[in-house]
Amino acid sequence: MADALVIETSRGEENAVIAVSGEVDLATAPQLEAAIAAVDAGVVVADLTGVTFIDSTGLRVLIGAHEAARDTGGRFAIVVDDGPVTKLFSITGVGDWLDVHDSLAAATAND
Amino acid sequence: MTEPEGQYRLELPAAPGSVALARLFVATLVRMSAGNEEIVADAKLAVSELITEAITGGAGDWVDVLVTAAGPVLEVSVGPIRDVVDSERLDVAAALFPTTAVDREGSRAAFSIHPAPR
């Protein structure tokens, strides 16, 4: 019953952008995980500015994607605004080591 | 808006889809007690963590959320918490509400909310 999670994936020359809207929790996190896994790109950017709620189940998906990218020489970047994702990052401290940006332009600047 | 008094209990199937319902239930009661959306957001996150812990910890077929309004304080209790599968979920709840505690004997986790005045 979480707000439907809407995921839109777009491919560019150098990267793929996954735009996420809605709530990420135990019910919807598998959908996000599957969407990230389905992208075959060296650089994946998750635009989470449309996320209205996220808990640690969703956070696990992001951490897993970051680690998978690191292990394969790729990159998993995250775009956030001053909302629930940033709040959870702040509480858990993971924002200090995830590749987090405040705009899509900043996230893709080095591609 | 009428502030809640007494106890409110929501029993849910121990399934992933119930997590959002638990959030909605708690958010509604917290909003009735406080005009502070930040506290509502914090309560939603905390209960989401605890109910997820209950569901993934082998609660059985049902989980429940119990909200007790005692004067200006709301106590939110979730159970049953059979085994603590992921203490990080509890850590998130505790970071938001330092009163978060697990009563292993009673198989419940709870936190208290002291709503800010309107």
How crowded is residue A24: how many other Cβ atoms within 10 Å of its Cβ?
A: 28
Interchain contact A64–B (C-beta under 8 A): no
Interchain contact B52–A (C-beta under 8 A): yes
Nearest to B19 among A3, A27, A92 (CB): A27
CB atoms A56 and B88 under 8 Å: yes
Q: Would you place residue A32 in the very low, low, confident or very high pLDDT band (cuts 50, 70, 90)? A: very high
Q: Which residues contact A96 (CB under 8 A, 6 or more apart)?
A: none
Whether residue A8 contacts residue A18, with contact meaning beta carbons closer than 8 Å, is answered with yes
Give the number of C-alpha atoms closer than 13 A to the C-alpha of residue B95, restricted to the C-beta side.
17
Interchain contact B66–A (C-beta under 8 A): no
Q: ipTM for the complex?
A: 0.93
What percent of chain A stands above pLDDT 90?
A: 86
